[in-house]
Amino acid sequence: MENVFVVTGASRGIGAATASLAAQAGYRVVRASRSAEESVGDRGWDARCDVSSWNSVQDLMSRVESRWGRIDVVFANAGVSVDTSFVSSAGAEPREWTDMVVTNVCGPAFTARAAMPALIRSGGHLVMTGSAAGRGVRPGNLYSATKWAITGLAQAIRAEAVETGVRVTVVQPGLVDTDAIPASRVDDPKLAPEDVGRAVLYAVSQPSTVDVNEILLRPTGQAAHR
């Protein structure tokens, strides 16, 4: 039975690039996103899923395992970003922050919880998208705080799953060339989405005895504080 790789936030950017690389590596790939038009083939599946909804994520994992018999890798990648400030009216209004926090924090948590039974059965791998922004202080940046949360979440899941055989990796990229780049950073050095995808495939391609806990990657020339 062929291995199955589920990617959330797969409609563009890091998710789309990683899904493509996983398919090239021989996986059956589930490309999940809020905007997906449902389409199932022998090796690829475009699946609609809203990671901010526990019921939606649980239904996705159930459908995948039921149809394809297993889940081997889950890449909890879906996320959103809005500009924030705590001392001025710059950026998004506070009422707009909720979707980002729920998507970026609850989304990966829901994804992990829904996928874990299948991953335990397969001895699989959970990968989560963090950020270099989640490793240092970014003034007024709530997005950065959600990525701090992903580092802690990955560690908490790994600690609980230590005897299950499931591996847990958090990938922490610096600035990536996607449509979410702030206007103030359009001229900064950037990673391609495929660069991050290759890091994900590196982690999941290791022997089952190797658990790559964290991967931090930045584009050459990006300062550590950016």
Residue 85: both structure tokens together: 């400030």
Q: Residue 7: beta bridge partners?
A: 31, 75
Q: Which of 27, 45, 75, 143 is catalytic?
A: 143
Examine the residue annotation and report whether 143 is marked as an active-site residue of this protein: yes
Q: Residue for token digits 């959970």? A: 126
Q: Residue for token digits 């018999």? A: 69
Q: Which amino acid is at 213?
A: N
Taking the C-alpha atoms of residue 186 and residue 49, their distance in angstroms, rounded to an integer, is 30
Residue 80: both structure tokens together: 């959103």
Tell me the three state secondary structure of residue 197.
Answer: helix
The four Cα atoms 139, 140, 144, 148 give a dihedral, to 10 degrees, of 80
Catalytic residues: 143
